[in-house]
Homo-oligomer: A and B are copies of this chain.
Amino acid sequence: MRLSVNQITVAGRDTRELVEGCVRHGIPAVGLWREPVAEAGIEEVAKLVADAGIRVSSLCRGGFFTGGDRAALEDNLRALDEAAALGAPCLVLVAGGLPAGSKDLPGARAKVMAALEFLAPEAGARGVRLAVEALHPMFCADRAVVSTLGQALALAEPFPAEQVGVVVDTYHLWWDPRLAEDLPRTAGRIASYQVSDWCLPLAADTLRSRGLPGDGHIDLPAFTRDVSRLGYTGDVEVEVMNAEVAARPLDDVLADLVRRHRELIAPHLQEQR
């Protein structure tokens, strides 16, 4: 099985609870977030997942480069160290939105490229890949000035593929009319494939509007076949930010994720592992 549970999908539990739950349900991988990992202690979590035989598919998250400050770069170096210590193959990068009071979108985007130039060799030295994530355009002002796969690729392509890749997240990208052209360009660059669904109406907190795979409007089998055909052999991470999902009992959610993975995702993955 190539299912990974992103920690935020079951937010509110500590990392040990998540890892033990994954073991119970035969889920082989987790995507971790820096804050709960720091609470538990990096070394402790590294040992926890190793002992459990669980893969860490990604660490969320670095980025927030658009302020152009040195502190952000230093924080990203710490995040890279944490990813390396956890054995996470990639650090997910969220670009950051417009700086407060600024309407200079091209300027903000230029800062993202400048940050990657600094961080790419540092990532390479640690054996961790930077994973540039395009966020849905509704987050452009406040969260990520990188809105499309094409844009994420343009940021990644100047660097060696083992230093900078991209996240392919169905929620953020499904609507993009250029996907059929841009997806083939990602071959060898997909650092993480994340799945969740587009559900309506959007929640009052739009950040928490994602649905479990199958509950919304995205053709996840087709998307998964496309990603798999590109040679992606990594884990398929379910990252659902949704208060109702997180409020359900952990075992209920994990069993549901396994079922949905088996129905909607696994049959569409070419077995290459």
Residues of A within 8 A of B (CB): 98, 103-105, 109, 136-138, 140-142, 146-148, 150-151, 174-178, 198, 200-202, 204, 206, 216-219, 222
Which of A148, A151, A217 neighbours the largest number of chain B CB atoms within 10 Å of its CB?
A: A217
- Taking a contact as CB atoms closer than 8 A, the residue among B103, B177, B204 that contacts A217 in the complex is B103
Check B204–A175 contact: CB distance below 8 A: no
What residues of B have a CB within 8 angstroms of the CB of A141 in the complex?
175, 198, 200, 216-217
Report how far A141 CA is from B104 CA in the complex, Å.
29
Check B147–A176 contact: CB distance below 8 A: yes
Q: A98-B217, A105-B174, A137-B176 are in contact. List 17 more A-B contacts (CB 8 A).
A: A103-B218, A103-B219, A103-B222, A104-B219, A109-B177, A136-B137, A137-B137, A137-B175, A138-B206, A140-B174, A141-B175, A141-B198, A141-B216, A141-B217, A142-B200, A150-B178, A202-B206
- Separation in Å of the A113 CB from the closest CB of chain B? 12
16 A-B contacts (beta carbon < 8 Å): A105-B174, A105-B219, A136-B138, A137-B138, A137-B175, A138-B202, A138-B206, A140-B174, A141-B216, A142-B200, A147-B175, A150-B177, A151-B177, A202-B202, A202-B206, A204-B204
